Amino acid sequence: MHSNHTPPRRDGKLAAVIVAAGKGLRAGQPLPKQFAPYRGSSVLRHAVTALMEAGVSRFAVAIPPGGQAASNDCLFGIEGVSLVEGGATRQESVLRALEVMANDAPEKVLIHDAARPDCPPAVVNRLVQALEHNAGAIPVLPVVDSMIVADNGLVSGDARRETLRRVQTPQAFIYGDILAAHRAWQGEKSAGDDAQVLRAAGASVALVDGDERLKKLTFAEDFMAEIAAPLSEGLPMRVGSGFDVHRLAAGEELWLCGVRIEHDRGLAGHSDADVGLHAVVDAILGAVAAGDIGQHFPPSDPQWKGAPSSRFVEHAIKLAGEAGYAVGNIDLTLICEAPKIGPHRDAMRARLAQLLQVGLGAVSVKATTTEKLGFTGRGEGIAAQAMATMVPLT
């Protein structure tokens, strides 16, 4: 999430299980949909941070086998998250995630599908309030279309829409009750949802008003609609470029993309002279027409002497947010003969993703030389060129 307001007070008694163990094949993405890019980040990161905005401080995320690296990339920098390999069914995945919390049990728990990345805090508030008098509560929406019962391609009966509701997540439960219900579940392996499991144990489940924003991402069109939506809603996608150069000098530390690198010389400049971060900052500022790095952090100002360039990135992200934008992706090229960038590339990408508040998949760091030509070819300095795609905040 990209937010400029004061973070909410976290409720230490409220935890959340995020179900992200599916394959997500119907979404038409090159990877499971929970890890897919969405609104400048990943679907999974949005799902977790949306609940953080609502006050949740502790998470157990059920992930698919082999999904550890992708999950870590999506959730980089977020504290209070435990990853657990999911089971063969949703019910098994939820039970495994609930068991992770058993030694330090919360009072209440939300169980949420990662494929619903947008969760208004007001829905969570309604769910938690309903738990004062019920063991469980779920958000629902009315059915507005006429309903029928179908059988083998034919109408076989009528269904009264007045008695039907569309069920959403997160669903809220008293932790001890839902854990016991999942442990005792003897029904079909593919339980429809957690409310079904709790009701099978004899407990009541309250209904609260849901929200259309809790729409589940299921098909490829759901992702395509989000690409087209900003244009129809007024704010276009924007692109900016940045370029920076610093000379190499003896006695200086070498910082590139927020990572300190051992080298016989470092980059000279008024700040820490991180040429990679400076190019990224200019690309972000350029995309939202907010000037350049020299305007915001003039070399003549003594307060920026030796300052970490991470502060410049944070400022650029803040200005972009105020303009209604978040980082979609960054493509950065470092131009130098030495040091070799390859051994440090992963650390650079991770640090950039953390600073930019995006998933690792949204950050590219490349390196090239000028074949011994020019000042970089002679080893006199390092240059950097960055491109930033900025997407509208929601």
Q: What residues form DSSP beta bridges with 264?
A: none
pTM of the model: 0.62
The pLDDT value given to residue 232: 45
The beta-carbon contacts of 373-378 under 8 Å, at least 24 apart in sequence, are 375/245, 375/247, 376/335, 376/336, 376/337, 377/337, 378/337
Q: 229-243, 283-297, 328-342, 355-369 — which is least confidently predicted?
A: 229-243
Report yes or no: 326 and 387 within 8 Å, Cβ to Cβ. no
Look over the chain and give the mean of its residue pLDDT values, rounded to a whole number.
Answer: 87
64 closest CA partner among 41, 92, 30: 92
The predicted-structure confidence for 115-150, as pLDDT tens digits, reads as follows: 999 899 999 999 999 999 999 999 999 988 888 888
The pLDDT value given to residue 191: 63
Helix intervals (H) in the chain: 43-53, 68-74, 90-100, 121-130, 175-184, 194-200, 220-233, 275-287, 293-296, 310-322, 345-356, 374-377
Q: 78-87, 214-223, 333-342, 382-391 — which is least confidently predicted?
A: 214-223
Omega before 170 cis (within 30°)?
yes
The pLDDT value given to residue 297: 83
Q: 23-27, 169-173, 322-326 — which is least confidently predicted?
A: 23-27
117 closest CA partner among 209, 216, 3: 216
The predicted-structure confidence for 358-367, as pLDDT tens digits, reads as follows: 888 899 999 9
Residues 6+ apart with CB under 8 A from 259: 344, 347, 348, 351
- pLDDT reading at 63 higher than 70: yes
pLDDT grade for 1, boundaries at 50, 70 and 90 = very low
Query: In angstroms, rounded to a whole number, what is the distance separating the alpha carbons of residues 114 and 31?
Result: 14
